[in-house]
Structure 1
Amino acid sequence: MTDQNKAPDAVVPPQAPGAAPQPPYGQSAQSQQQSYVQQPQQQAYSQPYAQQQYAPQYASQPYATPYAAAPAKKSKAPWIVGGVFLFVIVFMFTIGALSCSHVYSNVMSAGQADTAAVTMGDSVGVIDIAGTIQYDGTASSPEGLRELLQQAEDNPDIKAVVLRVDSGGGVATAGEEMAAYVRDFSKPVVVSSASINCSAAYEISSQADYIFVNETTAIGAIGTIMQVSDLSGLMDMLGISVDNIASAQSKDSSYGTRPLTDEERAYYQELVDTINATFVRNVADGRGMTVEDVSALATGMQFAGTTAVENGLADEVGIYDDALDKAAELGDIDYDAYEGAPSYDVVRLTSSSADLGALMDLFGSSESSQAVEELLSLLKQEGVLS
């Protein structure tokens, strides 16, 4: 009995030994691929019996295997190679751009202390103090500010420095050290306050020869704060018990596992008052005010720029360009400010290793290292790397 549903046998053309396989007569390679691949797949879901019956026949055809392998999953290697190539190009472009930027900075700024600065006559150096005052090696840290001030100190063309300040403060000790560096600097220093100049940042600014503010600048916030958390109530709710093994009774007082005793609270208050007294004294010395006058302003609150000029914490309302002109004036640079073309150069002082160092820190982070490892592993799986 003949099964009418049975697929007709494909006619295979004769071929010479070693010759490439040819598709059956009357079928193109594309139609044969549809016959051997798509049709059995459709039957596999709709006609299980037919699939079982015709599977041996299709498997016996000399072209079934090559065409059935056509829809196999494509290798990701070309895409990966392209991605790696793009990554390398972007990386090299970034390095090149930073290198060019660094060379330009060395030409236009004072460079490092041990590098001869290229300046074009009388100049005003600019140092940006932005972000949190802390120990991170930037211009907002004692080490970073000291290096940049030393650049200006060693360059005879730089007659004065403008500190462009945009910071809400930070670590008290870092602010104290930076204030000392500004105070001991031999050349005039003018502060140009941006949006905020508060707390430790203002302590640093107070040592300058002149302070400019914008009308809307938030400035001052003279005060010191210390926070000690008490998480013991929450820990009790969660059923967490902590045993502190300490060498002294109050060694664990700031760990947040218990409330402060009255004695400890009084001790910490005295510590804060002592630190704040240094802050107030530095401001008084820098601004030529009495300790009593500064203490009256040391409410921890910030003032608007116009108010700061009135109470003595700042000198004048003016923008960045006004600060540059004032620095040139205090640095005895001969120019006519009213002509609109001051005859002095402005050089921005930056660390020579800042840009490249930040980039290498980025690529050296744990997240970047993990991403590189995963990329290499995938390349090995795809056979791109051995």
Structure 2
Amino acid sequence: MSDQNNWQQQVWQQPQPQQPQGYPQPQPPYYAPEPPKKGKGWIVGLAAILAIFLLLVIGMISCTSAFSSSMGSFSSFSGSSVSDVDYLTEDAVGVISIDGTIQYDGTTSSPEGLKAQLDKAENNPHVKAIVLRVNSGGGVATAGEEMTAYLKEFSKPVVVSSASLNASAAYMISSQADYIYTAKTTSIGSIGTAMSITDLSGLYEKLGIRIDDITSSDSKDSSYGNRPLTDEERAYYQDMVDQINETFIETVADGRGMSIEDVRALATGLTFTGMTAVDNGLADEIGTLDDAKEKAAELAGISKYTTVTLANNTSLDMMDLLDILGSSSATDDLVAALKELEQDGAITR
């Protein structure tokens, strides 16, 4: 018998408590064998594929930039387009998109984003005019007010091309343009202001929820939704809405060259079709984006021009790239592989 077996015999031959006959006897302890570790070859392969992919992307971006730069002087005919204002070598019409909710999100649908592109167009001698491609139902009143002011201060011609929706704060911004195009079926206008305060107190009562708001004044919690508004608070908020709406009306009247009374009559909060908007003075003409570009060039006094899209610059880091490719199952495996390599110390920061 081996030493190991002798040791086991000594251990298991120690006096043991008497067990009733028929009970299973204890077995020696053991450790489950570890599963064999997977090889790292597939991980290295996936990492290599990613590296090659990144090199190809970088190469394509570099080639595209170089091609745009070298071809800039050849795109001097009407209707041509370049992707970066820095590569312009001839007269151009810039296109800025206002798409989605007007708010503070850094895009061209925000004051900061719009101003950045207007400044870029203002300071570039090749950009002679701007087309605003608007597809928005409005948004935050203050953001719209700031964007309206920036557009009003812009010194070069501005033409609006309305897509499916040009309403509320988006229309207030558009009203400062030199010319407004709309499609026949565009929903345009919606001159009006709204404030929403939800009263949840009835629901809380049914659920047995009681909320005590401790405030410095009686009306501090008026907008929290935990109780109904008092008559005085409702009148106060109505006055606030009326003040903001009056600013809206005055802005549109000034931008469109209409009387305040005429605009007030249209300030029903409802949108109009593009056809009705042309008739009532909120828009100038039925037309397309190309029509708007031609009009902008005409107002700028140029016959040959290129177009350039003015948008916020975006950059992709490694995680952004993985997010873009995230719909692929292979990418999921690659992300897991990279994480495993990092945990094993093969990738260091």
User: Please, what TM-score do these two structures have when normalized by structure 2?
Assistant: 0.75
**In structure 1, what is the equivalent of residue 38 of structure 2?**
75
The answer as to whether partners of 2:68 and 2:87 remain within 8 angstroms in 1 is no
Structure 1 match to 2:282: 313
The partner residue of 2:208 within 217, 239, 247 is 239
Asked whether the equivalents of residues 129 and 163 of structure 1 are also in contact (C-alpha less than 8 Å), the reply is yes
Q: 1:184 to 1:364 in 2, by over 3 A?
A: farther
Choose which of 102, 105, 114 in structure 2 pairs with 1:145: 114
* 1:347 aligned onto 2:308: yes
Please give the alpha-carbon distance, in whole angstroms, between the structure 2 residues aligned to 1:134 and 1:105.
33
Are 1:260 and 2:245 counterparts?
no
For 1:163 and 1:169, the matched residues in 2 are separated by: 15
1:162 aligns with 2:161: no
User: What amino acid maps onto 2:315 in structure 1?
Assistant: L
CA offset digits 1:290-335 (Å, max 9, x no partner):
11111111111111111100010000001111111100110011x3
Match of 2:245 among 254, 265, 276: 276
Q: Deviation at 1:378?
A: 4.0
- Taking structure 1 as reference, are residues 307 and 344 closer, same or farther at Cα in structure 2, changes over 3 Å only? same
Q: Any idea what the Cα deviations from partners look like across 1:225-248, whole Å, max 9, x if unmatched?
A: 111111112222222221111111
SS at match of 1:240: coil
Instruction: Indicate the SS of the match to 2:283.
Output: coil
Displacement of 1:99 after TM fit? Answer: 6.7
Which residue does the alignment assign to 2:262?
Answer: 293
Counterpart CA distance in 2 for 1:94 and 1:298 is 51
Deviation (angstroms), 1:75? 2.2
Per the alignment, do residues 79 and 124 of structure 1 end up closer, same or farther by CA in structure 2, a change over 3 Å counting? same
Identical columns (%): 57
2:300 maps to which of 316, 323, 331: 331
When residues 344 and 363 of structure 1 are mapped into structure 2, their CA distance, relative to the original with a 3 A threshold, is: closer
Q: 1:307 to 1:350 in 2, by over 3 A?
A: same
Greater gyration radius: 1
Change (3 A) 1:109 1:375: closer
Q: Look up the match of 1:202.
A: 171
What is the identity, as a one-letter code, of the residue corresponding to 1:269? Q
Once superposed, which parts of structure 1, at least 4 consecutive aligned residues long, lie more than 2 Å away?
72-111, 359-365, 371-386
Say whether the 8 Å CA contact 1:124–1:347 is kept in structure 2. Answer: yes
Matching residue's letter, 1:348? T
* Equivalent position amino acid for 1:318 in 2: G
Which amino acid is 1:279 matched to? Answer: F
Number of the residue aligned with 1:188: 157
AA aligned opposite 1:183: K
Deviation sequence 1:63-82 (CA, Å, 0-9, x none): xxxxxx9xx76727444444
Number of equivalences: 296
Q: Using a 3 Å threshold, how does the CA distance of structure 1 residues 73 and 127 change in structure 2: closer, same or farther?
A: same
Equivalent position SS for 1:285: helix
1:49-90 CA distances to partner (integer Å, 9 max, x unpaired)? xxxxxxxxxxxxxxxxxxxx9xx7672744444455555555
Q: Do structure 1's residue 132 and structure 2's residue 101 form an aligned pair?
A: yes
The reply to whether residue 227 of structure 1 matches residue 186 of structure 2 is no
| CA offset digits 1:176-203 (Å, max 9, x no partner) | 1111111111111000111111111100
Other-structure match for 1:57: none
**More deviation, 183-192/99-108:** 99-108
Gap regions ≥5 residues in structure 2: 1-32, 73-81, 327-331
Q: CA 1:364 to 1:241, structure 2 compared with 1: closer, same or farther past 3 Å?
A: farther
> d(CA) in 2 for partners of 1:303 and 1:105?
42
* Structure 2: distance between partners of 1:110 and 1:275: 38
Provide the C-alpha distance between the structure 2 equivalents of 1:298 and 1:360, rounded to a whole number of angstroms. Answer: 49
Larger RCO: 1 or 2 (CA < 8 Å, sep 6+): 2
Deviation at 1:120, TM superposition (A): 2.8
Letter of the 2:306 counterpart = D
Aligned to 2:4: none
Given that residues 105 and 350 in structure 1 are in contact (C-alpha distance below 8 angstroms), is that contact kept between their aligned partners in structure 2?
no
With normalisation by structure 1, the TM-score equals 0.68
Q: CA RMSD in A?
A: 3.1
**Cα offset, 1:123, TM superposition:** 1.4
